[in-house]
Amino acid sequence: MIYQRSSQLFAEAEKVIPGGVNSPVRAFKGVGGTPIFVKSAKGAYLFDEDNNKLIDYINSWGPMILGHAFEPVVNAVIEKAKKGTSFGMPTELETEIAQLAVSMVPNIDKIRFVNSGTEACMSAIRLARGFTKKDKIIKFSGCYHGHSDSFLIAAGSGLSTFGVPNSPGVTQGTAKDTLLASFNDIENVKALFESNKNEIAALIIEPVAGNMGCVPPREGFLQSLRQLCDENNALLIFDEVMTGFRLAKGGVQELYNVVADIVCFGKVIGGGLPVGAFAGRNEIMNYLAPIGPVYQAGTLSGNPLAMAAGKAMLEALNNDDEIFTRLEEKTAYLHQGIHKVLTENKIDFTINRVGSMISVHFDKNPVFDFQTAKNGDNETFKKFFHGLLNEGVYIAPSAYETWFITDALTYEDLDFTINAINKVAKSL
């Protein structure tokens, strides 16, 4: 494939935008080469500035679960835009999407909308600290909760790609209140609670991790976290920015039958517009301004275009009883296909998957935490990535990212992808 115009556009972008991109992983630093500039997208496909057609396995890092330019979302946004794009005043639409979200997700009474997943997690932590009157939080190595200061400690996603465990600019004072645990290691979490008695406000986790590749929780792990939080009067925060409205209507709480105190959303809930949200039961959510003491606000929060897109997306998911089964079946088909061709080509690999989140790790040992995720062979991944790109299949330009499957993918697309992987595997 030819990427001449993308290369030119990247060179221009680099002059006026740091690294040429507005979010680091897009820059291809982890895999080398020049990022692809998108011209348009429809359904399961991206069309780039050099007129290449690519099957998209990133889907804007999750939101486009029903495909690009999904008509109900596009139409809802167009109709809303004609009536004004922002008021900074309440609208009926905000209540409608809130009612819908609360009806779909278990154990939440109220939801507050923000503009990104970062804002959602940042606000959830502040709320948990205000509510419990404690300062420390526990997070897991390899989990990513956005780029607010408290979370840039051994975070996944772009930070793993670049091997930067902590970001300059985050003060020691902030870092000391973030305690690090190993994913799937309950003894480790127990020890942290014991050595920080009465100091831990909350434990935040991606309940199915997606920022070190896809790493599922071991059986009983989430339930044990629930118990430890209860015993220590700490809140359990599920960061469902990736998993919310993707793995089930009610997210991980529904899928694994476990109750969180605060749930964070992003990605799917905005239908591709900048939306995040955090939610919980009344007792906790009523701690927020203007009725409670914990301050949190946003000029564009609840923006009518964003709410229209989100509501159209949630309605489409809520009204389709087969959607999550269909996504599961398509992803399982892809999983089996990849497993078969990589085995036939004698490649060392592990595939992790939960529902429509899947990742391929180039290591034969199980991947269950950040350490084991790091064992993957990055040189093989780079070749795999570029090989697939050359075949017209676009996966995330990093070994630490999850592939997000969209319902717009057909079985022909999946067969095409499996064939492409077979071809590429021969050259690894």
Which residues form the interface with ligand PMP (CB under 6 A)?
Answer: 61, 116-118, 121, 144-146, 157, 206, 210-211, 239, 241-242, 266, 276
Q: Which of 45, 144, 256, 400 is catalytic?
A: 144
Work out how close the CB of 386 gets to ligand PMP at its nearest, in angstroms, rounded to a whole number: 23
Work out how close the CB of 246 gets to ligand PMP at its nearest, in angstroms, rounded to a whole number: 11
By Cβ distance, which residue is nearest to ligand PMP?
117
Pick 20 or 210: Cβ nearer ligand PMP: 210
Whether residue 144 lies in the annotated active site:
yes
DSSP 3-state of 294:
strand
Residue 223's contacts (CB-CB under 8 Å, 6 or more residues apart) are 256, 258
The pair phi, psi for residue 37, each rounded to 5°, is -95, 125
Task: Return the number of other C-beta atoms located less than 10 Å from residue 229's C-beta.
Answer: 21
Work out how close the CB of 121 gets to ligand PMP at its nearest, in angstroms, rounded to a whole number: 5
Tokens for 287, please give them.
Answer: 């701690």
Pick 56 or 206: Cβ nearer ligand PMP: 206
Instruction: Please give the distance of CA 132 from its chain centroid, rounded to a whole number.
Output: 27
Work out how close the CB of 64 gets to ligand PMP at its nearest, in angstroms, rounded to a whole number: 14
Largest Cα span, the chain: 62
Work out how close the CB of 241 gets to ligand PMP at its nearest, in angstroms, rounded to a whole number: 3
Pick 263 or 284: Cβ nearer ligand PMP: 263
Q: Which of 80, 249, 267, 374 is catalytic?
A: 267
Q: Which of 56, 177, 239, 407 is catalytic?
A: 239
Work out how close the CB of 327 gets to ligand PMP at its nearest, in angstroms, rounded to a whole number: 18
DSSP states along 179-203: EEE-TT-HHHHHHHHHHTTTTEEEE
Cis peptide leading into residue 304 (ω within 30°): no
Pick 271 or 276: Cβ nearer ligand PMP: 276
Whether residue 267 lies in the annotated active site:
yes
Task: Return the number of other C-beta atoms located less than 10 Å from residue 308's C-beta.
Answer: 25
Pick 115 or 380: Cβ nearer ligand PMP: 115
Which residue type is seen at 366? P
Residues 15-46 as b or e (16 or more Cβ within 10 Å = b): eeeeebbeebbbbbbbbebbbbbbeebebbbb
Residue 423: enclosing H or E segment and its boundaries?
helix 411-425
Work out how close the CB of 193 gets to ligand PMP at its nearest, in angstroms, rounded to a whole number: 23
CA dihedral 328, 333, 337, 338 (to 10 degrees): -10
Give CA–CA dist 151/148, Å, rounded. 6
Q: At what angle do helices 304-318 and 92-104 cross, to 10 degrees?
A: 30
Give CA–CA dist 48/37, Å, rounded. 6
Work out how close the CB of 198 gets to ligand PMP at its nearest, in angstroms, rounded to a whole number: 28
Residue 277's contacts (CB-CB under 8 Å, 6 or more residues apart) are 101, 111, 112, 113, 114, 120, 264, 265, 266, 269
Pick 299 or 427: Cβ nearer ligand PMP: 299
Whether residue 411 lies in the annotated active site:
no
Residues 400, 161 contacting (CB under 8 angstroms):
yes
Pick 52 or 116: Cβ nearer ligand PMP: 116
Residue 172's contacts (CB-CB under 8 Å, 6 or more residues apart) are none
Which residue type is seen at 271? G
Pick 207 or 376: Cβ nearer ligand PMP: 207
Q: Which residues are part of the catalytic machinery? A: 144, 239, 267
